[in-house]
Chains A and B, each alone.
Chain A
Amino acid sequence: MLPDHATRSRMSGAGKIGLAALTLTGCGGPQSVLNTAGSDARVLLTMLSVMLVGLVIIWILVNGMMLFFNQLQTGAHEERYARYLIVGGGIFFPTLVITALLVWGLSIMPDQRAPGDGLRVEVTGEQWWWRIAYWPEGAETPVIAANEIRLPVGQRVEFDLKSARVIHSFWIPALGGKMDMFPGRDTRLSLEPTEVGIFRGQCAEFCGASHALMAFHVVTMEPADFDAWLAAQAAPAMAPDGDLARRGAAIFAEQGCGACHAVRGSDASGQVGPDLTHVGSRLSLGAGILAPTLANYMAWIDHTGDIKPEVEMPAYDHLGDDELTALATYLMGLK
């Protein structure tokens, strides 16, 4: 049954409040342009704020004039007065305001190609995850990771953005603007985090069935902490600790997981899927979509495609619960 008119209008009132509440929740949290943690994002927020305030003032001005001339002083106006108003308010004022905004905006707009302070991070968009390689200054081989980016605060970092198959877009709202990633063509972006914290990035260009499930965590750290972390990431994987983890490592080898995944320090050297050498140290599983719990690890291995539609990884649903537990325990131990 359709609601009657009164009900409908009440509902739409409630809907408006709900929508407003929903919108406001977007102001905070780890993935918001309003909750900035980098110098580039701060500039963008300043521009947004100035434009918003200016827009509100102009909107009030225009509506005020409309009210004034339609309701309060409805008679004919003197022609000279009207001409000043039209030429002044319709041509000079907008030209002046827009020119000023443009000059000011261009002068402070972040240079997305600004040179970095040394660290370069290569990010490749895959279906649907992020292949990541850290190139510290002067490094000859990169430190390989996936689906999580850690950055030192107070340093400008260069991102080399690539894509394997389709167009993706790399976006960390708390740190700056977005940049598209194209197959066969590299793009660049540079960002300068200023505050320590945990943030979230997201693919911002529709890239297929699991586009919405292609995210990552961004952890900004004090430079000393970052260096220690990067050194740990560069090291080979820890040996499995405990019987269950050892059994998991055996199942990992037996099932040929190493055909697609690398675990440095073991025979596993596949390049198709994410590097798992330190997967247990990551804040999420499945590219920013699951908390790294034992149950989630098991579910992911058991029915991958149900969690992330059309994912490249086949489901290992032929494994029993005890085998999945062992495998998950092994992977979670790869700190």
Chain B
Amino acid sequence: MKRVIQTLAVLAAVAALAGAAVVLGGLYNVSARAGHWPGVPFVLHTTYEQSVDLRAPSEAEVPDLKAPGMVALGAKHFDESCRMCHAAPGLERWAIPQVMVPEPPHITRAVAGWTAAELHWIVDEGVKMSGMPHWPAARIDDVWPVVAFLRQVEEMSATDYADLTRQPARPEGAPDALPYCATCHGITGRSDNPQIPRLDIQDRDYLEQALRAYADGSRDSGIMHVAATRVPRAQLADLAAWFADQPVDTAPAAPVLDEGLAEDGAVLARAGTTEIPACVACHGPGVARKDETFPRLAGQSQIYLAQQLRLWRDGVRGDGRQSDLMVKAAEDLTDDDIAALAAWYASLPAEAR
């Protein structure tokens, strides 16, 4: 017995020395050109697939991926952040991803065999030692538009993809980065995509504060963190000014889908309760003066309003010098309150600044 233990100890010491020699002596060749030994890619890929399979959320957590605007928003973010490695419908991969180890597959092949929940996990978590990064934010609900796009990408035509991701032309006098922002928000800040908030109704101070918060990560969003760090910091103020200077489209928004719900929202927003402050005191409509870092809500996208209110209520939305005010204001909102408030504000015509 003693001999066995001695033998094992000696073997362990030799193994440790050999390991140290490989690591410290640089014996392992990390060259991507050299590639892996036979069999290793199979082991690694199987590990990856099984790991995703084990950890992906349940399919019950998948929201409605066919909701209006989801695919378009996901396509735009994909075009900015993912296309460089995975190419896109109608495009071949360029040279660099083709010499990566492992090689990122063309997106139309990469999604094959994965469910929506599994795709969400992969985009959210990334894949270690593969070059696939994780979602650049703690908040992961805005991964879903990308998943919505990925579910469509196999059948998407090159023309459709190009239409979804086209940058508009830069108007005379606009900041250089404007076409990039306008891909989603439109040149005037009024996007026709209900997933994307309109900016034409906001004041300059609010927009600049939001952009800076997105850039430094204090306001959490994977999509906007990418966007706000992609444009030069020096242009953030100019972009805020551009959108704030646009004429507000005050025409009444789309017809209200549920009048009872909007009515409940009106009562709550105007009068508040003993637990919930009256929204209109800070956000309008109808306030003569307000702090210019408070956003206006009349005419804003219903989907965006509901999503932001949930983030505030759940205590995961930071941003700005007064974010504490909104954390306290939203902490007692119920899901019904949020639906009612979003329905009412979205039903209002925007106010002229």
Contacts and interface: CB of A to CB of B under 8 A. Distances in A.
Interface of A: 131, 164, 250, 253-260, 267-272, 312-315, 318
B119 to A, nearest CB: 40
B312 to A, nearest CB: 13
Contacts of A253: 281, 287-290
A256 B272 contact: no
A34 to B, nearest CB: 37
Interface of B is mostly: loop
Contacts of B288: 253
B274 A164 contact: yes
Contacts, number: 66
Interface stretch (B44-52, B59-67, B189-197, B321-329): B321-329
Given A253-B288, A314-B324, A260 B271 contact: no
Contacts of A254: 289-291
A241 B72 CA distance: 56
Contacts of B271: 269, 271
Nearest to A254: B289
Interface in B261-292: 271-283, 287-291
A101 to B, nearest CB: 45
Interface in B47-103: none
B294 interface: yes
Given A250-B289, A267-B287, A272-B272, A259 B278 contact: yes
A312 B274 CA distance: 12
Contact of A259 (B289, B322, B329): B329
A250 B324 CA distance: 21
A259 B279 contact: yes
A269 B278 contact: yes
B291 A271 contact: no
B291 A256 contact: yes
A267 B285 CA distance: 12
B12 to A, nearest CB: 55
Contacts of A268: 281
A328 B279 CA distance: 23
B276 A272 contact: yes
Interface string B280-317: 11110001111100100000000000000000000000
